[in-house]
Amino acid sequence: MELWYTEKQTKNVGITCKVKGTLYSKRSQYQNINVIDTYQFGTMLVLDGAVQTTLVDEYIYHEMITHVPLNTHKNPKNVLVIGGGDGGAIREILKHKSVERAVLVEIDRHVVEASKQFLPQISCALTDSKCQVLIEDGIEYIKNNKGIYDVIIVDSTDPVGPAANLFSKDFYISIYEALKDDGIFVAQTESPFYNQDLIKRVFSDVKEVFPITQLYCAPIPTYPSGYWSFTMGSKKYHPLEVQVGKVANLDTRYYNAQIHKASFILPNFVKTLLKDGKIND
Amino acid sequence: MELWYTEKQTKNVGITCKVKGTLYSKRSQYQNINVIDTYQFGTMLVLDGAVQTTLVDEYIYHEMITHVPLNTHKNPKNVLVIGGGDGGAIREILKHKSVERAVLVEIDRHVVEASKQFLPQISCALTDSKCQVLIEDGIEYIKNNKGIYDVIIVDSTDPVGPAANLFSKDFYISIYEALKDDGIFVAQTESPFYNQDLIKRVFSDVKEVFPITQLYCAPIPTYPSGYWSFTMGSKKYHPLEVQVGKVANLDTRYYNAQIHKASFILPNFVKTLLKDGKIND
């Protein structure tokens, strides 16, 4: 018998993967958590029916959500990840020697536990002495921590269920206040093909809060449309002013200094989406 | 009843699309041709079970396979497309005012006919006075036409069935000979995630034939992995030496002058794939 797992990425299109078996299945207080073993992508973490990360392609997402802001910042020491209970962002953050403290605030302890058990290649840095894991609501946490972070990364699920409020303007204001005077914020902001209204709204909201707002993209095979966006809000540093020669010599499989800059070059349809035409101009 | 069409893009992963109905279905001498109407991507051309083009995302592929070589060339007048019976590449080529003649050599007349009937938005330029459509084997055609083209585009199906020989070194040598002394060739060369052996082999073969060989990529939601590669062989012009300010002001939805250059910036895993590490360095 062949088992196939299908995620409907929109109501009209899906990705379907041949499955060896289910490794973990739990209904937590917040969501359905499944870890499955797939032939194409290896171990796969699925939350509420949406692929979050897979052993085979996770590096692209985790490298791009971390190294772009951390190399844009001149000297990141304190870094916060909201969501990202799999630990992949923390693993990449701790590749930066300047980082003294990486805090993970994940609402669902079962995501952390499942990742530690079934995705050790991704979660490996969660036990690092520089990493602190807090099982808390990121929205509450951020309200109570002002002016202390150099970089804040919102590594959330889709904007439904537990993550919905992580895509609100009020939350971006709280993030702004939790950052130091030269702080940088990045959030995953879905597919430029399938989630255009969301991208427009988030970009507009972040732009009202941060003086420098930029969108960048990367290909990720297991995410809807295979093409993903990240929105950056920065108080001082511009991501395109990064000195290519100064970019840390990181052990990466997707990211490099040229990719850092190229990821901000947007196709016409994405420029149009962001309306004012001033992106990258 | 819900109808879904699923393409197994590899033996272990597929894309599945909700379908309104089948518009056309034919077994030709060369392949199975289907045109279906999908909710997500509109009208979709499927050859031997593989999505070739859809109304919603075709612009990316057709813009990138044409404008990159045509803007790299200083003055393209005579352009050849091998395959590409849907006409999308021809439509984009004829946006360049320098082009005097665009020849399409497609082996399967039923692909051209189905595209004219069901994909008029894509095939519209096939009746242009500058376009000549030849129903012939591209491999034979190219052997009999030496030194006459400025740009040759190989817009083929996957490297199985009727297109297999379009991915051979002998064919690249024939293309080299069919080009003028400053000619440029581009072929679609599959997914950097799923078809790494093919990309390596083609890149190596093209490099043995052309003095300048470069790979570039673009996101295409309906193609396997959502991320696609194109391999360029050029006799004289380097694609990164294109003057951004001189790039024709084309009516495009994906391509622009900055995307032209950014598409040649490769992630580390693709650079590694091409082995010698000299790509983009």
- Does residue B139 register a pLDDT over 80? yes
Q: Is residue A137 part of a domain?
A: yes
**Between A160 and B152, residue with greater pLDDT:** B152
Tell me the CA distances in angstroms from A214 to A207, A231, A237, B230, one per residue in order.
9, 6, 11, 28
Give pLDDT, residue B276.
Answer: 58
| pLDDT tens sequence across B50-73 | 999 999 999 999 999 999 999 999
CB contact under 8 A, A269 and B253: yes
Give pLDDT, residue A279.
Answer: 42
With helix as H, strand as E and coil as C, how does chain B read?
Answer: CCEEEEEECCCCEEEEEEEEEEEEEEECCCCEEEEEEECCCEEEEEECCEEEEECCCHHHHHHHHHHHHHHHCCCCCEEEEEECCCCHHHHHHCCCCCCCEEEEEECCHHHHHHHHHHCHHHHHHHHCCCEEEEECCHHHHHHCCCCCEEEEEEECCCCCHHHHHHHCHHHHHHHHHHEEEEEEEEEECCCCCCCHHHHHHHHHHHHHHCCEEEEEEEECCCCHHHEEEEEEEECCCCHHHCCHHHCCCCCCCCCCHHHHHHCCCCCHHHHHHCCCCCCCC
Q: Are residues A71 and A97 in the same domain?
A: yes
Q: Is residue B168 part of a domain?
A: yes
CATH of the domain at A246: 3.40.50.150
Give pLDDT, residue A276.
Answer: 58
CB contact under 8 A, A267 and B280: no
Cβ-based contacts of A256 with chain B (< 8 Å): 267-268, 271
- Taking the CA of residue B21 and the nearest CA in chain A, the distance in Å comes to 13
Q: Is residue A278 part of a domain?
A: no
Cβ-based contacts of B255 with chain A (< 8 Å): 267-268
Q: Are residues A25 and A140 in the same domain?
A: no
Q: Is residue A279 part of a domain?
A: no
CA B188 and chain centroid, separation = 4
Q: Is residue A103 part of a domain?
A: yes
CB contact under 8 A, B265 and A259: yes
Q: CA-CA distance, B82 to B89, in Å (whole number)?
A: 10
CB contact under 8 A, A267 and B256: yes
* pLDDT confidence tier of residue B279, bands split at 50, 70 and 90: very low
Q: Which of A254, A268, A280 to mutate to test the interface with B (most CBs of B within 10 A)?
A: A268
| pLDDT tens sequence across A150-166 | 999 999 999 987 788 99
CB contact under 8 A, A13 and B16: yes
Cβ-based contacts of B220 with chain A (< 8 Å): 226
CB contact under 8 A, B262 and A267: no
| pLDDT tens sequence across A180-206 | 999 999 999 999 999 999 999 999 999
Helix pair angle (A196-209, A169-178), 10° resolution: 40
Q: How many CB pairs under 8 A join A and B?
A: 112
Select the residue of A12, A41, A265 nearest B18 (Cβ to Cβ): A12
ipTM of the complex: 0.95
Give pLDDT, residue B247.
Answer: 77
Catalytic residue among A57, A108, A150, A155: A155
Whether A137 is catalytic is no
Cβ-based contacts of A6 with chain B (< 8 Å): 16
Select the residue of B221, B262, B269 nearest A193 (Cβ to Cβ): B221
CATH of the domain at A20: 2.30.140.10
Q: Are residues B48 and B175 in the same domain?
A: no
Q: Is residue B278 part of a domain?
A: no
Q: Are residues B144 and B122 in the same domain?
A: yes
CB of B265 within 8 A of CB of B259? Answer: no
> With 0-12 CB in 10 A as exposed, 13-18 as middle and 19+ as buried, what is B69?
buried
- Does residue B275 register a pLDDT over 90? no
Split into its structural domains, chain A has a count of 2
Give pLDDT, residue B136.
Answer: 97
CB contact under 8 A, B258 and A267: no
Q: Are residues B118 and B252 in the same domain?
A: yes
Q: CA-CA distance, B281 to B132, in Å (whole number)?
A: 40
**Residue the block writes with tokens 């295979």:** A226
Cβ-based contacts of B259 with chain A (< 8 Å): 265-268
pTM (whole model) above 0.90: yes
- Does residue B277 register a pLDDT over 70? no
Q: CA-CA distance, B127 to B133, in Å (whole number)?
A: 9
Question: From chain B, which residues contact A within 8 Å (Cβ)?
Answer: 6, 10-18, 38-41, 57, 60, 193, 217, 219-221, 225-227, 252-256, 258-259, 261-262, 265-269, 271, 280
Count of C-beta atoms within a 10 Å radius of residue A54: 24
CB contact under 8 A, B227 and A219: yes
Instruction: For chain A, 281 residues long, give each residue's pLDDT as a single digit of tens.
Output: 899 999 999 999 999 999 999 999 999 999 999 999 999 999 999 999 999 999 999 999 999 999 999 999 999 999 999 999 999 999 999 999 999 999 999 999 999 999 999 999 999 999 999 999 999 999 999 999 999 999 999 999 999 877 889 999 999 999 999 999 999 999 999 999 999 999 999 999 999 999 999 999 999 999 999 999 999 999 999 999 987 776 768 999 999 999 999 999 999 999 999 975 444 43
**Residue the block writes with tokens 């797939």:** A38
Q: Are residues A75 and A205 in the same domain?
A: yes
Q: CA-CA distance, B251 to B255, in Å (whole number)?
A: 9
Q: CA-CA distance, A263 to A68, in Å (whole number)?
A: 9
Amino acid identity of residue B91, one-letter, is R
Q: What angle do CA A145, A150, A152 make, to 5 degrees?
A: 70
Q: Is residue A222 part of a domain?
A: yes
Q: Are residues B118 and B156 in the same domain?
A: yes
Token couple for A267: 């196709």
Across residues B233-251, what is the average pLDDT?
A: 87
Give pLDDT, residue B280.
Answer: 40
Expressed in angstroms, the distance from the first to the final Cα of chain B is: 54
Q: Are residues B148 and B260 in the same domain?
A: yes
Q: Is residue B281 part of a domain?
A: no
Q: Work out whether strand B101-106 and strand B78-83 pair parallel, antiparallel, or are unpaired.
A: parallel
Select the residue of B13, B41, B57 nearest A15 (Cβ to Cβ): B13
CB contact under 8 A, B12 and A38: yes
Give the residue from chain B lying closest to A228, CA to CA: B219
Question: From chain A, which residues contact B within 8 Å (Cβ)?
Answer: 6, 10-18, 38-41, 57, 60, 193, 217, 219-221, 225-227, 252-256, 258-259, 261-262, 265-269, 271, 280
Q: What would the DSSP string read from start to end of chain A?
A: --EEEEEESSSSEEEEEEEEEEEEEEE-SS-EEEEEEETTTEEEEEETTEEEEETTTHHHHHHHHHHHHHHHSSS--EEEEEE-TTSHHHHHHTTSTT--EEEEEES-HHHHHHHHHH-HHHHGGGGSTTEEEEES-HHHHHHT--S-EEEEEEE---SSGGGGGGGSHHHHHHHHHHEEEEEEEEEE---TTT-HHHHHHHHHHHHHH-SEEEEEEEE-TTSGGGEEEEEEEESS--GGG--GGGS-----SS--HHHHHHTT---HHHHHHT-SS-TT-
Q: Which of B6, B7, B193 to mutate to test the interface with A (most CBs of A within 10 A)?
A: B193
Q: Are residues B179 and B156 in the same domain?
A: yes
Active site residues per annotation of B: 155
- Taking the CA of residue A135 and the nearest CA in chain B, the distance in Å comes to 34
The strand pairing partners of A216, in sequence order, are A230
Q: Are residues A10 and A78 in the same domain?
A: no
- Of A111, A85, A96, A90, whose CA–CA distance to A28 is shortest? A111
Q: Are residues A45 and A132 in the same domain?
A: no
Give the residue from chain A lying closest to B258, CA to CA: A265
CB of B80 within 8 A of CB of B265? Answer: no
* Domain containing residue A15: 3-54
> With 0-12 CB in 10 A as exposed, 13-18 as middle and 19+ as buried, what is A175?
buried
Amino acid identity of residue A143, one-letter, is K
- Does residue B259 register a pLDDT over 90? yes
- Does residue B153 register a pLDDT over 50? yes
Cβ-based contacts of A16 with chain B (< 8 Å): 6, 13-16
Count of C-beta atoms within a 10 Å radius of residue A96: 20
Q: Are residues B133 and B261 in the same domain?
A: yes
